[in-house]
């Protein structure tokens, strides 16, 4: 228990008008009850609207009709029932574009180059009997606005209503262009349905990038055109493979929900599984003890000093990347084990023959794989070691993911590379579950402790950076490495924790009222989106006892 020396705050903190996640950067609300007309509809005032916008509107109407979420207050809003009889009615919502350009599909807008997407919107919900108005410069912006509008509505005895009208949001635009979530599907396999459900939840909180760490040393579940043998010999089973049709299905599904799919093929490390089909390309395959040759079993990594392996890898990456619409593609580059290459006779012979050092060979290898991407108009993404631990020549527009520690962002920025924050000390969702390696009864996960939503919510994207370096920060993401995750627990381990960073990188440091982002005002809103996720079929874990969720502030600590 908490102990006698800790008291509980017993004053009620009203849930207020801000049950939105992420909270818009501009928000004015009232306290008037507003109910939806029985004939409520959403009108698309767009000439020749793309089908995915029509579908998005249909989903919004479905959520409004079916969420039936009661207010998170004592009595669940029963006290509103009497007043609802005379409450004003909202007849509809009209959505329109601000420009006269031919509308592009949401899916087209969602995969534009990072920093060029138009995601902003404005929303007005009046109480005078006229329709609500949602406007944006793009269909993607309209979609973001729809996800906000959906969160305004609650149920009382079958009446759909809002308790915070009127609502006015003016030019709600994201603070950062990259707001991501990473899923590892190599340690354990996740069926398409689980990925789609995750994409749905991402879209509800305006996360716009799915970083797909699709393969690793343990399995290669990706069927690559021209390289079918890698998956056939590298997947866990024939039923645990993502076919080209699966990939296109997921990519299209994501894009229609405003999510760009950035795939990662981690090289030259984390590639042992390729030895099952191409042993000639893998050094120290299955070497023992694995701890001498890799960060986790099995050992094995690409023979980066081999011209044949370099060409093979570049061709493989090109074959994968050319089928993806995203402008971003990650080649990884983390946790390179130099002892593996020191003990590999073929690598040593290749180095001697070429007259190169290992670092020079790594640079040649990386330049080749990155050229295969830039030739396709893609921007390479790498883990931080490629900048901080190796002397590798990288394209100037390379995006660097900072993962080992948030403190390393300043070092990456000093080299003038763009940054995506993915620090293990804030955003690793797998931490704190105990050791997954066997025969270690007292072991804990390497990145202990468990990363609470409160911890991640306190993250400062500009910590340690100069004012001039702030423009290098593209945003950030939470990550799920799947050694201890599978379809059975993905919802509960990701949600609603991953939503914490969604607000950091959409709303920024300051709330609409000018105060600093803080866990106190965030918790009631995070409860709200969590309960709404559950209503929509996502098994998001509870943040507190239900009693606390209905009494905002009462379960807060006071020393």
Active site residues: 335
Count Cβ atoms within 10 A of the Cβ of residue 439 and give its class: 0-12 exposed, 13-18 middle, 19 or more buried.
exposed
What is the distance between the alpha carbons of residues 397 and 406, in angstroms, rounded to a whole number?
A: 21
Helices (H) and strands (E) in the chain, counts: 19, 18
CA angle 361, 362, 363 (to 5 degrees): 90
Provide the 10 A C-beta neighbour count for residue 94. 16
User: Taking a C-beta distance cutoff of 8 angstroms, is the pair 484, 433 a contact?
Assistant: yes
Pairing verdict, β 132-136 and 154-156: unpaired
Residue 258: C-alpha distances to residues 55, 201, 207, 345 (Å):
13, 12, 8, 48
What is the distance between the alpha carbons of residues 211 and 221, in angstroms, rounded to a whole number?
A: 16
3-state DSSP call for residue 168?
A: strand
What is the distance between the alpha carbons of residues 429 and 493, in angstroms, rounded to a whole number?
A: 7
ω into residue 289 within 30 of 0, thus cis? yes
User: Taking a C-beta distance cutoff of 8 angstroms, is the pair 145, 121 a contact?
Assistant: yes
3-state DSSP call for residue 477?
A: strand
Count Cβ atoms within 10 A of the Cβ of residue 538 and give its class: 0-12 exposed, 13-18 middle, 19 or more buried.
buried
User: Taking a C-beta distance cutoff of 8 angstroms, is the pair 104, 53 a contact?
Assistant: no
Alpha helices in 306-434 (DSSP H): 307-321, 338-342, 345-354, 358-374, 385-388, 409-414, 424-427
What is the distance between the alpha carbons of residues 265 and 222, in angstroms, rounded to a whole number?
A: 10
Provide the 10 A C-beta neighbour count for residue 58. 11
Provide the 10 A C-beta neighbour count for residue 400. 29
Residue 93 tokens read as: 């919502």
Residue 178 tokens read as: 């990259």
User: Taking a C-beta distance cutoff of 8 angstroms, is the pair 205, 21 a contact?
Assistant: yes
Furthest CA-CA distance within the chain: 86
DSSP-based helix, strand, coil % in the chain, nearest 5: 35, 20, 45
Pairing verdict, β 7-8 and 557-558: antiparallel
Report the candidate in 217, 210, 84, 71 with the shortest Cα–Cα distance to residue 154.
71
The DSSP element (H or E) to which 531 belongs, if any, is helix 519-535
User: Taking a C-beta distance cutoff of 8 angstroms, is the pair 523, 531 a contact?
Assistant: no
């Amino acid at each position: 228990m908490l102990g006698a020396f800790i008291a509980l705050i017993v004053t009620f903190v009203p849930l207020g008008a801000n049950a939105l996640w992420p909270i818009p950067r501009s928000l004015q609300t009232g306290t008037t009850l507003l109910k939806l007309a029985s004939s409520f509809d959403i009108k698309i005032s767009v000439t020749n609207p793309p089908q995915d916008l029509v579908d998005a509107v249909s989903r919004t109407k479905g959520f409004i009709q079916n969420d039936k979420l009661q207010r998170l207050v004592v009595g669940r809003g029963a006290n509103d029932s009497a007043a609802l009889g005379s409450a004003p009615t909202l007849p509809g919502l009209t959505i329109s574009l601000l420009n006269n350009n031919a509308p592009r599909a949401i899916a087209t807008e969602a995969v534009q180059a990072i920093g060029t997407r138009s995601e902003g919107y404005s929303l007005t919900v009046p109480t005078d009997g006229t329709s609500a108005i949602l406007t944006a410069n793009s269909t993607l912006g309209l979609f973001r606005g729809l996800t906000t509008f959906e969160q305004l509505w609650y149920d009382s005895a079958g009446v759909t209503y809002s308790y915070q009208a009127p609502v006015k949001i003016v030019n709600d635009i994201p603070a950062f262009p990259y707001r991501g979530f990473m899923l590892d599907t190599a340690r354990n396999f996740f069926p398409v349905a689980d990925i789609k459900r995750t994409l749905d939840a991402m879209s509800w909180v305006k996360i716009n990038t799915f970083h797909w760490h699709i393969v690793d040393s343990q399995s290669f579940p990706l069927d690559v055109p021209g390289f079918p043998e890698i998956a056939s010999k590298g997947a866990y089973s024939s039923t645990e493979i993502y076919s080209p049709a699966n990939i296109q299905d997921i990519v299209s599904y994501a894009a229609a929900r405003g999510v760009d799919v950035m795939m990662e093929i981690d090289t030259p490390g984390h590639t042992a599984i390729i030895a099952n089909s191409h042993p000639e390309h893998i050094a120290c395959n299955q070497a023992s003890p694995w701890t001498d040759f890799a960060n986790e079993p099995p050992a094995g990594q690409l023979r980066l000093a081999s011209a044949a392996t370099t060409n093979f890898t570049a061709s493989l990456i090109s074959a994968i990347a050319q089928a993806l619409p995203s402008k971003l593609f990650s080649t990884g580059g983390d946790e390179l084990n130099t002892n593996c290459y020191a003990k590999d006779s073929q690598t040593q012979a290749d180095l001697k023959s070429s007259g190169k050092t290992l670092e020079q060979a790594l640079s040649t290898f990386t330049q080749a794989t990155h050229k295969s991407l830039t030739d396709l108009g893609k921007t390479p993404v790498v883990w931080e070691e490629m900048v901080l631990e190796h002397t590798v020549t990288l394209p100037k527009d390379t995006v660097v993911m900072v993962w080992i520690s948030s403190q390393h962002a300043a070092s990456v920025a000093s080299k003038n590379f763009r940054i995506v924050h993915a620090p293990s000390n804030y955003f690793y969702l797998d931490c704190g579950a105990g050791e997954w390696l066997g025969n270690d009864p007292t072991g804990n996960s390497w990145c202990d402790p468990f990363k609470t939503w409160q911890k991640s919510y306190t993250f400062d994207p500009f910590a340690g950076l100069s004012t001039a370096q702030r423009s290098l920060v593209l945003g950030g993401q939470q990550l799920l490495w799947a050694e201890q995750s599978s379809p059975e627990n993905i919802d509960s381990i990701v949600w609603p924790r991953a939503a914490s960073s969604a607000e950091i990188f959409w709303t920024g440091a300051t709330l609409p009222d000018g105060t600093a982002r803080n866990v106190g005002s965030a918790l009631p809103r995070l409860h709200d989106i969590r309960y709404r996720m559950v209503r929509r079929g996502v098994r998001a874990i509870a943040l507190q006892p239900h009693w606390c969720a209905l009494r905002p502030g009462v379960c807060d600590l006071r020393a």
